Structure 1
C-alpha cells in the first residue's frame, strides 16, 4: 500500500466574474494499491514520447469522492485523473472501493537542443 494525495483546483472567478478553476490544493490522502500501466504510444517521425500512467485501487466501503478533474500525487509526481473514476463493487453489488487511472504523455522528454538542457527537468547527463 502507498499513500496518494488528491489535489483539486479551488473554484474562483476571473477578472470578469466568470467561474474558473484556481490553483490546486491538497484535499485528501488515501492508502492505495498503485500499478504501472503499459501503454503503446503512436509516434511521429523524430518524436520520442514518454507516457507515465498508473491504475490506482483504493479500498473502502464508501466512494472516495475523487473527481475526473482532480490531480493525484503518486510516487512524487502530480498526475491528472484520466476519465471518470470507476466504482469497484463485489459480486453482491456492495461498494468495496474506487479504481482510478492517472497519467500524462510528454511529447519530447529528452530534446536534442542545448537550450532545453538548461532546465531543471532534464538530466545533465542526457544533454
Structure 2
C-alpha cells in the first residue's frame, strides 16, 4: 500500500497529475525524455516522481528486453507506468531504476487549467526519442 500522506505541488508550477484521481505526480521540469522501447509502448521518463509506489516483489515482467515492475498511484492505485529493475541489452536511454509513466494516463496542470498530457513522440526517421527542450 502507498504512503498515508500525499505531496502536493504549488499550483503556480506546471505539473503532471494522475488522470483518474488528480494526484500530483511530477513537475513538468522533471520530464526528461520520451521513450519507446522495442515493444511500442511509449511513455515519459521523469527525473523525479512523487506519490507513486512500486512493489518489486509482487510482479516483475518483461518490457522488451528489460525487467520492469509496475508503478501505481498512491491515491487511486491505478497502474501508471513502470520502473526499470534490470536492463539487459545496451540501450541508449534505459537505465536501472528509471521510471517511465504512460502519458495517456496523465493530465497536465498549470494554474487553474487542466489539460490532457501530450502523448510522447519520437523522430519518425530515426525512431530516436525526442529529448524535451527546457
TM-score, normalisation: structure 1: 0.31
More strand as a share of residues: 1
Q: Which has the higher contact order (CA 8 A, sep 6+)?
A: 2
Higher-Rg member (1/2): 1
